[in-house]
Structure 1
C-alpha cells in the first residue's frame, strides 16, 4: 500500500538524510481522490519537495542535518483525521575510535592468569559497539579471539592460552554499524608482565668492621620461590625518622643478601624491599624490619640556647641550658647522653643527662661552659657555650603567630635595623605542659623577620611563643604571644552568678574558663537577658573583667539570662539562669543605715560642740570650782585709812575676794564620838571641807606627813566692796610657815597672832574667842562677826553647850 525508503537507517550524527514515500494505486485511502502527502520527524512537521509524478503518489523529503541519535520519520496522507501510511527509524552516532591504554599483567599465583584491560575511545559513539580481544603467539602460531560482553573493558586469559617465556601479540578491536577500529598492538613476554607477591625480609644486621653498613637477607614468597635462580630488580627503602631513602639494586638473585652502606653510624634504620622482573610492575612493599649500624663517637656540634638569671645576694647564676642536634651533628649511636662541664676535659660535670636540657648554678665569674655528646663508642668534640647575661633592653618586635598549614605556625616579628642586635632566638612550648623537655627553639639571623615552626604542634592546644633579641653582650627581654594551630568553640561555657542587685540594675559575673577547655583565644562574652514577655537584650562584656551590669530592670519581673562565649573557631551558649530584682536590696538598706548613722553622728557632734562652747557654765553645774588653799596667797583687805597708810600694799595685791565654801578631805583617823557628833550637827555643808584642810591642826591627833613641804592655806577676810569701812581697824592673819598648825597636844582653842596692819595700832586679836595670854586685861574682848567672814563660816561648828 505504502513504502518509505531512506538512504540509510544509521547515519553519522549531523549528516543529511533523504527519504522517499511511495503510495500504490490500490491503496484504499487514496482511491478515486486526489492525494496530498506530508512528513513528520517524531512529532515535528517537515516540509517536503514537489511531487515526482503527475499522480502525486510519490513524495520526497531531505533533512540537511540530522542531529538526533534516534528518531522516527513518518509519511502521512492529509485526511480527517491525518493518516500515517509509512515510516522508518533513523539512528545516528559515530564510528568507534581505537581502544586506548591496553595493558596486560600476569598473575603468578595459583592459578596463573594473564589479565588485559583497556579503555574505550574518548568519543561516545551513541551506537552499540562491540569489543574483541585478539592474541597471537609467534612461536606456536596460535591465534585466539575473545568476544567481550557489552560494556566490559577487561578480560582474563587462562593459563593454557599463553606461554610465560614466549612473546605474544595482544590487541583490541572495536566495531559498530558505522565502522571498526583497532588498538595499538602490545607485544610482551607474560613473565615480564608478572607482578610478584611482596617479598620477605629475613634479617637486617650490621656488617662487621664496616661502619654505616647494613646487610639485608630476603626471599620471594612461597608460591614464587621457584624463581630464586632468576635475576630480579630490587628496590630498598630505608626509613630514619621522617626521612625516607630509596636505594635501587639491579639484577640480583633472591638467594643473595643486599648490603646497604653509606649510612649513619650507630643508627637504627627500618628497611623494606620490593621486586620485579625486567619491566614488570613492582610488587608491593614487604613488611618492615629494623637494624642498627655499628656505633662510633658522635660528630658535629650542637645548637644551644641558654637562659640566665642572676642572684646578686650570693653571686650565683641560675642557668637553663637547652640544645638540639645541628644539621652537621651525628649521634652515631643509640644511647646518647650529654655532659655539661666547666672545663674542656669533663672532670667536674655540671650535669649528665639524656634529655635535651640541663639546669645548674655557677659563680658569676664563670664565662663559658662546654657541652658534649657521649655514646658507647666515645664522645664528641666539645661545643663551647658562652654565658650571655640578660640585658634590660626592651625592643618592640610586634610579634604575631598565625597558622601556616595543618602542622606548622608562622611567626612574624619586626626586624630592627640596629647594630647592637646580632640575631634572634625563637622559643615555643605548650602551655598545658610545663615539662622543660618540651621547650623548642630556633636561632634566626639579624636580617630574618619570620620563621615557620613545626613538630608535634597539636590543634586546639595553646602554645607560648617568645622572641628574644640577641646582642653582642647579652640577651634582651623577650616578647611573647599565644597561638593556636586551629581553633574551635570552647568545651564549656562559664556559669553566670548574680553578684549583687540594686534598684533597676543587676551585676552578673562568671569565672574564667580553664585554659585546657578554651580551644582557642576567647574573643568575646555576650550576655543575653529578657523578661517573661519582653524582648531579648544583648550586652557585650569585657573579656578581661568577666562581669557585666544590666540596667533598666523592673522589680516586679522575672528575668532569664545566659552567656555566649566565642573564639575564632565557634561559639558556645551557657545554661540559662533566672533572677529578679528585690524592691529593697541589701545595698539600699545599707545606704539607709549609713544615712541614719551619719545624721546621728552629726547630731552628736553638734551637741558636743554646743556643750564645749558653754563648758564654763556646764562645768559650774556639774563640777563646782573648789579653791585650792595650797596654791592661794594672802589677800589684804583695806579701807580708806589703810589705803592711805599702805598704798604700796594695795597696788601690789588685788582686792580681797569672798570665799563661801571650804571642803574637808577624808579624815585619816577615826574621830571620837563627840567629834563625830560635832561634825554631823553642823548646819553648814562640809562634805568637801576635808579637801582644803587635810592635816588641819584643828583635828585632834593629826600629824602631817608632808608638813615640811605644803604651805598653809591663806584665808582672806573681807567685806563687800560697797560696805562702809569698819570703824575699828581690820585684822587679818598671814602665815608663811610650812609647819603644821597646832601640831601640839594643847586644847582645841585658837591662838592669837600679832596684828601687823598698822603702826599706830599695836595689839593682838584672836579669831575664836578671847585671847587669854596676849590681850591686856583692861581692854574688852573684841566681838567676831561671822557674817564678815564668809569663808570661815564653813569652819563654824555649832556647839549647843557654848551657845
Structure 2
C-alpha cells in the first residue's frame, strides 16, 4: 500500500513541478543523475539530485533535501547535501531487483523527482548446446541449449549464430524471451560442409557466449528407421543368416554414402539377446547385404537393425523385426533323463515311465524334433519302443532288459544315443523331512535330509500339478548328492496344489520318494460344505460334512469351526481339524431352536457357509426348518 501511495504522489507532484499542462517547452523541476540505472545486484549506487532555482516547489525557501528508496527513508548519514538545491547519496549495497529512488523535501511530503533502479546479474554462458539434423520433410537443423541455473532478474536476449566456412555465409537468429531452441531451415545450412554454431546471451550487464559446435550436419543426422527386406540362408553356410536391408524411401538418396550398421539377434523362444549387437562399419545402403554368423544351427532368430552416419552421429530407431532360420544339422549333446520303474502285477514285465529334457550341452540344431526310445534285442539290433514329439513316454519291457537308448532326431540326422540303465526300485527309505515352501512369486524352495548316503549317486526332484495328472506336466531336476535343497522354477499358479517328490538314486537302483504338497499362495476356500445331521442324543447332535473338492480348496485346510446358538443365547464353537469332518454340538436345550453355520479356514483366509435352523423337542427329535445363505 505504501509503494502505491508514493507512486501516486510522484506522478502528481512531478507533473506539477514540471509544469504539466502549460504551454511551450516543459523544463523538469529537478534531475537525478545516477552512476547507472541498471547495476549488478549488491553493488553500490551513487545518485545526485539537482533542483532548479526556479522550481515552483522551492522558490523563496530554504529546503532540506531527503531521499527515499522505495517506501523506506534513507538515513541522513548516507546523504551529503552540498546546498539546499543539490544532494548526493550513496547506497552501499543495492540488494533489490528493482526500486524507485526519489529525492524529496519538507520531510518527504513533497517529491521533487525520482528514477527507477534495476539490479541483476550478467548472463551465464549457455550450456549443453546440441544440434540434430532432421531429414524428414521439411528438413531442418534443430538446436537447443540450457540457459544456465542462475536467475539474472533482467530481461535476457538469446541469439543463435552460424558460420558456414567454405561458402563464407553467416546467419544470426534472434529469439523471443524464454525460448532456448531454434530450427535452422534447410536452405541455410549445407550438407558435407562444416558449420560452426554458438549461442549468445545478452542483457544490460553483459554478454556470454556458449562453447561453439563445429560439425558436418550429416554427422548430426538421425536417420529414419531402416527396414529388413529378407533374413535368409545360403547353401552350405552353417550357422549364418544373410540379411538384406534398405533405408527409408525418403532417404534413399543417401544410398551411396557410408554408414554404420548395428544388428541385434535373439532366438524366437527367448527374450534374451544372443550376444552384444553386431557392429558393421563402412557399409553402403546401395549394397545393403550383411551376413551374421556363429549362430546356432537350425534355430529361428529374430533380427533388428539400426543405422547412423559412419562412426558418428545418433543412432536411428531400431527397425521392425524379421525372422529367419539357420541351416539344420543333426542334434548334438546328450539328454538328461529320469526313469520311474514299477513291477507289473499281471505280467512279468516292468512298467516304465521315461522323462527327458535337454542337457546344457544339448543342441537341437533343427526346428522339429522327434524323440526315439530303443530297446536292444537278441540279434544285436534295436527295437523302437517310442517315437514322440513329447518329452516323455511309457512302455513295458521284460525284467531281463537292463537298458534302453534315447536319441533326438531332426530332418538332417539324429543325436548320439543316450544310454539309460533300468534299475528296479529299492525298498529301504533314504529321504527324510522333505519340505517345500514358496521362495518368491514364481518358485518353491525344496529342502530334505538324507538318511542313507552309502552308494548314493544323486537325487531327482520331481514336481507336477495335482489338478492335471497328464504326464506332460511332470518336471524334474537332477541334483548333486551333496545338495540338500533346490529352488524350482516353473509356471506355478497361486491357489493351485502341486506335488513335489524327492527320489534318491543309487548305483544299483532307485529309492522310494518322499512327497509333499505345496501351494505358492493360499486364500479362503471357494466353497463351504453343507452341514449334515448324522446322530442325535437327548441334548447332543453330531454333525458332519463332505470333503471340499481339491480344486476348490485354494490352500491347505487348517480347520473347520461350527458356531451355534439359541435365540438370545451365547455363541458356542466346536472345532475340527482338517482330517476330522465332524463335531458334536453339546448340551442343547429342548424344546429350543438353534442357529448354526460353519467357517472353513486355510492358511490364506476363511469363508463362512450357510446357516441352518434346528429345532429340538423333548423326545430327542429335531427338525431342520430352513437353510439360507449368509453374505460371504
**SS in structure 1 of the partner of residue 462 of structure 2:** strand
How far, CA to CA, are the matches of 2:583 and 2:461 in structure 1? 39
1:238 maps to 2:265? yes
Q: Pick closer, same or farther for the CA change 1:362–1:131 going to 2, 3 Å.
A: farther
Instruction: Tell me the TM-score normalized by structure 1.
Output: 0.61
Q: 1:213 aligns with which of 240, 265, 277?
A: 240
| Counterpart residue number, 1:288 | 321
| Counterpart residue number, 2:19 | none
**SS in structure 1 of the partner of residue 279 of structure 2:** strand
CA positional deviation for 1:300: 0.9
How far, CA to CA, are the matches of 2:562 and 2:70 in structure 1? 72
User: After the TM superposition, which residues 151-162 of structure 1 pair with which residues of structure 2 at under 5 Å, given as runs?
Assistant: 151-162=178-189
How far, CA to CA, are the matches of 1:436 and 1:372 in structure 2? 20
User: Which stretch shifts more, 488-497 or 548-557?
Assistant: 548-557
User: After the TM superposition, which residues 216-615 of structure 1 pair with which residues of structure 2 at under 5 Å, given as runs?
Assistant: 216-240=243-267, 241-242=269-270, 243-245=272-274, 246-254=277-285, 255-278=287-310, 279-311=312-344, 314-343=347-376, 347-391=382-426, 392-404=428-440, 407-413=442-448, 418-458=453-493, 461-484=496-519, 487=521, 489-490=523-524, 492-494=526-528, 497=531, 499=533, 515-516=550-551, 542=577, 545=580, 563=599, 568=604, 571=605, 574=608, 577-580=610-613, 582-584=615-617, 587=620
RMSD: 4.7
CA positional deviation for 1:187: 1.9
CA positional deviation for 1:401: 3.1
Structure possessing the higher radius of gyration over alpha carbons: 1
CA positional deviation for 1:46: 8.6
Between Structure 1 and Structure 2, how many residues are aligned?
Answer: 578
Q: Pick closer, same or farther for the CA change 1:515–1:177 going to 2, 3 Å.
A: farther
User: After the TM superposition, which residues 73-152 of structure 1 pair with which residues of structure 2 at under 5 Å, given as runs?
Assistant: 95-123=122-150, 125=152, 128-152=155-179
How far, CA to CA, are the matches of 2:121 and 2:94 in structure 1? 14
How far, CA to CA, are the matches of 1:319 and 1:285 in structure 2? 51
Q: Pick closer, same or farther for the CA change 1:7–1:282 going to 2, 3 Å.
A: same
Deviations 1:561-614 (A, max 9, x none): 68585654xx57657x55545342884679xxxxxxxxxxxxxxxxxxxxxxxx
Q: Pick closer, same or farther for the CA change 1:413–1:203 going to 2, 3 Å.
A: same
Does structure 1 conserve the Cα–Cα contact (< 8 Å) formed by 2:261 and 2:281? yes
CA positional deviation for 1:348: 0.3
| Counterpart residue number, 1:645 | none
Taking CA–CA contacts closer than 8 Å with sequence separation of 6 or more, which of the two structures ends up with the larger relative contact order? 2
Does structure 2 conserve the Cα–Cα contact (< 8 Å) formed by 1:200 and 1:221? yes
| Counterpart residue number, 2:23 | none
**SS in structure 2 of the partner of residue 348 of structure 1:** strand
| Counterpart residue number, 1:166 | 193
Does structure 1 conserve the Cα–Cα contact (< 8 Å) formed by 2:126 and 2:148? yes
Does structure 2 conserve the Cα–Cα contact (< 8 Å) formed by 1:341 and 1:370? yes
Name structure 2 gaps, 5 residues minimum: 1-12, 15-30, 624-632
Higher strand share: 2
| Counterpart residue number, 2:9 | none
CA positional deviation for 1:217: 2.1
| Counterpart residue number, 1:197 | 224
Q: Pick closer, same or farther for the CA change 1:215–1:542 going to 2, 3 Å.
A: same
How far, CA to CA, are the matches of 1:36 and 1:542 in structure 2? 102
Q: Pick closer, same or farther for the CA change 1:27–1:59 going to 2, 3 Å.
A: farther
User: After the TM superposition, which residues 24-35 of structure 1 pair with which residues of structure 2 at under 5 Å, given as runs?
Assistant: none
Does structure 1 conserve the Cα–Cα contact (< 8 Å) formed by 2:372 and 2:409? yes
Deviations 1:236-294 (A, max 9, x none): 22221214233222222233422222222222222222222211222222222222222
CA positional deviation for 1:519: 5.4
How far, CA to CA, are the matches of 1:158 and 1:537 in structure 2? 87
CA positional deviation for 1:357: 0.9
Does structure 1 conserve the Cα–Cα contact (< 8 Å) formed by 2:431 and 2:452? no
**SS in structure 1 of the partner of residue 273 of structure 2:** strand
**SS in structure 1 of the partner of residue 408 of structure 2:** strand
How far, CA to CA, are the matches of 2:35 and 2:123 in structure 1? 21
Name structure 1 gaps, 5 residues minimum: 591-803
How far, CA to CA, are the matches of 1:71 and 1:548 in structure 2? 91
Q: Pick closer, same or farther for the CA change 1:4–1:556 going to 2, 3 Å.
A: farther
Deviations 1:697-743 (A, max 9, x none): xxxxxxxxxxxxxxxxxxxxxxxxxxxxxxxxxxxxxxxxxxxxxxx
Q: Pick closer, same or farther for the CA change 1:368–1:138 going to 2, 3 Å.
A: same
**SS in structure 1 of the partner of residue 77 of structure 2:** coil
Q: Pick closer, same or farther for the CA change 1:507–1:173 going to 2, 3 Å.
A: farther
**SS in structure 1 of the partner of residue 342 of structure 2:** strand
**SS in structure 2 of the partner of residue 166 of structure 1:** coil
CA positional deviation for 1:447: 2.9
Deviations 1:494-515 (A, max 9, x none): 3664758999988887766655
Does structure 2 conserve the Cα–Cα contact (< 8 Å) formed by 1:499 and 1:507? yes
Does structure 2 conserve the Cα–Cα contact (< 8 Å) formed by 1:463 and 1:484? yes
Q: Pick closer, same or farther for the CA change 1:309–1:109 going to 2, 3 Å.
A: same
CA positional deviation for 1:35: 7.8
CA positional deviation for 1:342: 2.0
Instruction: Tell me the TM-score normalized by structure 2.
Output: 0.75
Q: Pick closer, same or farther for the CA change 1:482–1:589 going to 2, 3 Å.
A: closer
CA positional deviation for 1:338: 0.9
Deviations 1:670-693 (A, max 9, x none): xxxxxxxxxxxxxxxxxxxxxxxx
Does structure 2 conserve the Cα–Cα contact (< 8 Å) formed by 1:207 and 1:293? no
Deviations 1:161-211 (A, max 9, x none): 111211112222334455443332222212222222222222222211222
Q: Pick closer, same or farther for the CA change 1:332–1:19 going to 2, 3 Å.
A: same
CA positional deviation for 1:356: 0.7
Does structure 2 conserve the Cα–Cα contact (< 8 Å) formed by 1:558 and 1:578? no
Deviations 1:629-660 (A, max 9, x none): xxxxxxxxxxxxxxxxxxxxxxxxxxxxxxxx
